[in-house]
């Protein structure tokens, strides 16, 4: 028999997953450029969120926690996908890449951004976090977030051509 | 385009991307991590507490000296757990959900026959090749993603050595007639088994096995 408190937690987590999963996937996809890998990473990060739900649910931006966790477990998944590891625990270079069905030029442009700019873009665009929350999440000042965002958008602007109908 | 237009254009570019994994699968994986974390946390503490914690799993065997079958289901938990506490190059344990946990210790000599037998005893049809890297000549079975997960273990083991590895295998999800093919092999002359590779293939599928020693 389930404890009511546990049921409540499951419902909260299911609501959170339903609400945030697509945007978390888009954010991680933007950062990795690999659809299959991004799905695995986000699934793993949500699983970790559920495993530590009492802590994660109190996080100011749980979706940001998921995205950052997903990006932090990336190396492990590379190893898993490669089906070959060094027994001394040292990582190996990645050998393969997946076919992508999204705008590769845009994703490539995002991946070329410096790490901080990329993090700001991902959190700002796909998680729709405001400047202060992004700043808290990354441990930098709101002013620095604004500067990174401005530089990143300037670099990406060249990738888009406005379409008029 | 101003800044908002750029950001909106980016949002639109990925707007068709959807995450379609069911929440039940996410929760199942999360619960497995919770259980796993509990076991590992106590093992790291060592001593009697570790024996009690390992009762969560049913150790099937440990290498390199070969498998160590457990007693029956009614055997005391501590007795069941004891074999997994022995110093060994690998351990195989059956978890409560029917999955099988394989751990390989870093920098220890693996006995391929013992590993193969321990996995077979745990219900995982396995071939272990030693000394050569084997990859499927054809395509690997796509169910590998459901059958096997791999995680490097963070931190040092009880011997103070880093680099242990862990696989969790779901034998129930293996397609009928399939096997897991592991190969452990050296990469430098005179060196022990430095790497391990794996694949899910139909039994008897041709494998391309070759030495990669340089």
Mean per-residue pLDDT over chain A, rounded: 79
Whether B14 is in a domain gets the answer: no
Instruction: Check if the beta carbon of residue B130 is closer than 8 Å to that of residue B64.
Output: no
Sheet holding B90-94, edge to edge: B58-62, B90-94, B100-104, B165-169, B148-152
Looking at the complex, does the CB of residue A46 fall below 8 Å from at least one CB of chain B?
yes
CATH at A147: 1.20.140
Q: According to the model, what pLDDT value does residue A32 have? A: 82
- Report which DSSP code applies to A96: -
Any domain includes B7: no
Domain count, chain A: 1
A55 inside 8 A of chain B by CB: no
Q: Has residue A141 been placed in a domain?
A: yes
User: Does A41 have pLDDT greater than 70?
Assistant: yes
> Is B1 among the domain residues?
no
Q: Chain B residues with CB inside 8 Å of A80's CB?
A: 149-151
pLDDT of residue B189: 75
Considering only the beta carbons, identify the residue of B19, B33, B164 that sits closest to A51: B33
Alpha-carbon distance of B68 to B61, in angstroms, equals: 4
Residues 39-98 of B with CB under 8 A from A: none
Beta bridge partners of B199: B181
In a domain, B11, yes or no: no
Q: Please give the Cα distance from A145 to A142 (Å, whole number).
A: 5
B213 alpha carbon, distance to own chain's centre: 25
Q: Is residue B91 part of a domain?
A: yes
Whether residues B165 and A87 touch (CB distance < 8 A) is answered with yes
What gap in Å lies between CA B24 and CA A68, rounded to an integer? 22
Chain A positions in Cβ-Cβ contact with residue B130 (cut-off 8 Å): none
Q: Would an 8 Å CB–CB cutoff place A79 in contact with chain B?
A: yes
Question: Quick check: B139 and B126 in contact, CB under 8 A?
Answer: no
Work out the average pLDDT over A58-76. Answer: 84
Is-contact B131 B153, C-beta < 8 A?
A: no
Does the CB of A96 have a partner CB in chain B at under 8 Å? no
- A151: which chain B residues are within 8 Å (Cβ-Cβ)? none
Provide the pLDDT for residue B63.
54
Rounded distance between C-alpha atoms, residue B63 and residue B85, angstroms: 11
Residue B54 lies in a domain: yes
- Number of domains, chain B: 1
For A45, residues 6+ apart whose C-beta sits below 8 A from its C-beta are A24, A28, A66, A67, A69, A70, A73
Residue in B with minimal Cα distance to A48: B30
pLDDT digits (tens, 9 = 90+) for A107-135: 888 888 998 999 999 999 999 899 999 99
Q: CA of B5: how far to CAs of A80, A102, A156, A158, B140, in Å? A: 38, 19, 11, 12, 44
Mind listing the pLDDT tens digit for each residue in B1-20? 677 888 888 888 888 888 87
Domain that holds residue A109: 4-157
Q: Average pLDDT for residues B149-173, to the nearest whole number? A: 77
Domain containing B109 equals 22-210
CA distance B214 to B212: 6
- What residues of chain A lie within 8 A of the CB of B154, using their CB? none
Inter-chain residue contact A102 with B14, CB threshold 8 Å: yes
Stretch B174-179: mean pLDDT: 95
In a domain, A136, yes or no: yes
Distance from CA of A121 to the nearest CA of B (A): 8
Q: Is residue B12 a part of any domain in this protein?
A: no
């Amino acid at each position: 028999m389930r404890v009511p408190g546990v049921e409540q937690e499951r419902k909260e987590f299911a609501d959170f997953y339903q609400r945030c999963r697509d945007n978390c996937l888009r954010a991680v996809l933007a950062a990795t450029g690999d659809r299959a890998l991004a799905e695995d990473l986000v699934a793993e990060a949500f699983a970790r969120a559920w495993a530590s739900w009492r802590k994660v649910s109190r996080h100011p931006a749980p979706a940001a926690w998921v995205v950052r966790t997903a990006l932090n477990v990336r190396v492990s998944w590379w190893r898993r996908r490669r089906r070959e590891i060094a027994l001394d625990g040292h990582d190996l270079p990645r050998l393969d890449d997946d076919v992508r069905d999204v705008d590769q030029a845009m994703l490539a442009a995002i991946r070329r951004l410096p790490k901080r700019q990329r993090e700001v873009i991902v959190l700002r665009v796909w998680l729709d976090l405001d400047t202060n929350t992004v700043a808290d999440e990354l441990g930098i000042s709101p002013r620095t977030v604004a500067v990174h965002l401005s530089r990143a958008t300037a670099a990406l602007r060249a990738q888009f051509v406005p379409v008029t109908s | 385009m101003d800044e908002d237009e750029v950001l909106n254009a980016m949002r639109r570019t990925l707007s068709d991307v959807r995450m379609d994994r069911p929440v039940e699968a996410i929760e199942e994986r999360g619960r497995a991590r919770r259980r796993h974390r509990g076991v590992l946390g106590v093992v790291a503490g060592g001593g009697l507490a570790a024996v009690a914690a390992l009762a969560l799993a049913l150790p099937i065997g440990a290498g390199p000296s070969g498998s160590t079958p457990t007693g029956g289901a009614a055997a005391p938990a501590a007795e069941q757990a004891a074999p997994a506490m022995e110093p060994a190059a690998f351990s195989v344990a059956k978890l409560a959900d029917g999955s099988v946990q394989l751990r390989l210790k870093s920098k220890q000599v693996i006995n391929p026959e013992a590993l193969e037998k321990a996995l077979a005893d745990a219900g995982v049809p396995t071939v272990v090749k030693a000394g050569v890297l084997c990859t499927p000549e054809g395509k690997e079975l796509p169910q590998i993603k459901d059958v096997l997960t791999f995680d490097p273990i963070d931190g040092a083991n009880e011997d103070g050595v880093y680099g242990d590895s862990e696989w969790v295998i779901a034998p129930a999800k293996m397609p009928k007639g399939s096997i897991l093919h592991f190969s452990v092999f050296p990469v430098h002359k005179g060196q022990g088994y430095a790497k391990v590779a794996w694949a899910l293939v139909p039994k008897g599928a041709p494998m391309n096995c070759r030495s990669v020693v340089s």
